[in-house]
Amino acid sequence: MFIRPSEGKITSRFGETRKNNAIKVHKGVDIGSDGSPAIKAAASGVVTRAKVIGGYGNTITIAHTLNGKKYETLYAHLKSISVKVGQSVKQGEQIGIKGTTGNSTGIHLHFEIHKPSYEAGQPNAVNPLYYISEISVSEVQKLLNTVGYKLVIDGIEGPLTIAAIKDFQKNNSLIVDGIVGPKTLAALKKK
Ligand SMILES: [Zn+2]
């Protein structure tokens, strides 16, 4: 449903308190600076914000309707934004470049998923790792190849990669959702 919006390691998870502020709860995931700095739309939708939003720095939000349900994704701290409000974007289309604008101490993407929509104070935020793979797509492809699949390591979450993830999940009695979450990752690493 959603794809990973960029390459890079998950450096901070949903719900964790921030290092320099013990009270705040983290309403998204942080994806580090390793790999390509391109930021892609996690799903097809319409751009609803493309501007500086306080500590988020340069920020994009995109509204999606997926399987009849509404979601809004948020991409923060961008170096540059390459879309405009009202623009339709396709899943995987580049929307900006990773940066460190706003309240940020280094280059990373702060990514949020809201159900059904983004509101100030983020009451509708859900854990993005329920929807996107925990590790980068090229790492997923390398792990799948070590267990016998023959994928091209291109970092693109295309149909062949998703089919291989689902096939692995099916053969290992895991939930077949095509997402490399903690259980699928543990099973892949055990092989
Ligand atoms: Zn963050």
Q: With contact defined as beta carbons under 8 Å apart, do 57 and 78 qualify? A: yes
Residue 21's pLDDT band, with cuts at 50, 70 and 90, is low
28 CA distance to ligand 1 middle (Å): 6
Phi, then psi, of 146 in degrees rounded to 5 = -70, -20
Domain assignment present for 2: no
Residue 165 sits in the same domain as residue 124: no
Cα of 37 to ligand 1 centre, how many Å? Answer: 16
Instruction: Tell me: pLDDT of 9 over 70.
Output: yes
Ligand 1 geometric centre to CA of 116 (Å): 20
- Choose the final residue of a domain: 97, 115, 130: 130
Structure tokens at 84: 């405009």
71 bridge partner residues: 64
At 18 the pLDDT is 53
In a domain, 21, yes or no: yes
Domain identity same for 101 and 142: no
Note the pLDDT tens digit of each residue in 37-57. Answer: 999 999 999 999 999 999 999
Task: Report H helices in 84-180.
Answer: 137-146, 159-171
> Please, are residues 44 and 58 in contact by the beta-carbon 8 Å criterion?
no
- Residue 191 pLDDT class (50, 70, 90 cuts): confident
pLDDT tens for 54-113 read 999 999 999 999 999 999 999 999 999 999 999 999 999 999 999 999 999 999 999 999
Domain range for 104 is: 10-130
Do 126 and 59 have their domain in common? yes
Asked whether residue 1 is domain-assigned, the answer is no
110 Cα–ligand 1 center, Å: 4
User: Quick one: tokens of 86?
Assistant: 């009202």
Residues 6+ away with beta carbon under 8 Å from 43: 1, 2, 3, 62, 64, 66, 71, 73, 91
Question: Looking at the structure, do residues 85 and 36 belong to the same domain, yes or no?
Answer: yes
105 is a domain residue: yes
Among candidate residues 114, 130, 146, the one where a domain is terminated: 130
Residues 39 and 95 in one domain: yes
Q: What is the pLDDT of residue 16?
A: 66
Degrees (nearest 5) of the Cα angle 128, 130, 181? 115
Residue 23: pLDDT band (50, 70, 90) is low
* Domain tally, the chain: 2
Distance of CA 147 from the midpoint of ligand 1 (Å):
33
Model-wide pTM > 0.75: yes
Task: Give 11 Cα–ligand 1 centroid separation in angstroms.
Answer: 9
What confidence tens digit (pLDDT) does each residue in 123-146 have? Answer: 999 999 989 988 888 999 999 999
pLDDT of residue 175: 94
Pairwise CA distance, residues 61 & 124, whole Å: 14
Q: Are residues 37 and 114 in the same domain?
A: yes
Residue 30 forms part of a structural domain? yes
pLDDT of residue 40: 97
CATH number at residue 17: 2.70.70.10
The CATH number of residue 149's host domain is 1.10.101.10
Average pLDDT rounded to a whole number, residues 10-22: 74
CA of 1 to the centre of ligand 1 (A): 22
Q: In terms of domains, do 36 and 66 share one? A: yes
- pLDDT of 20 reads 63
Pair 86, 169 in one domain? no
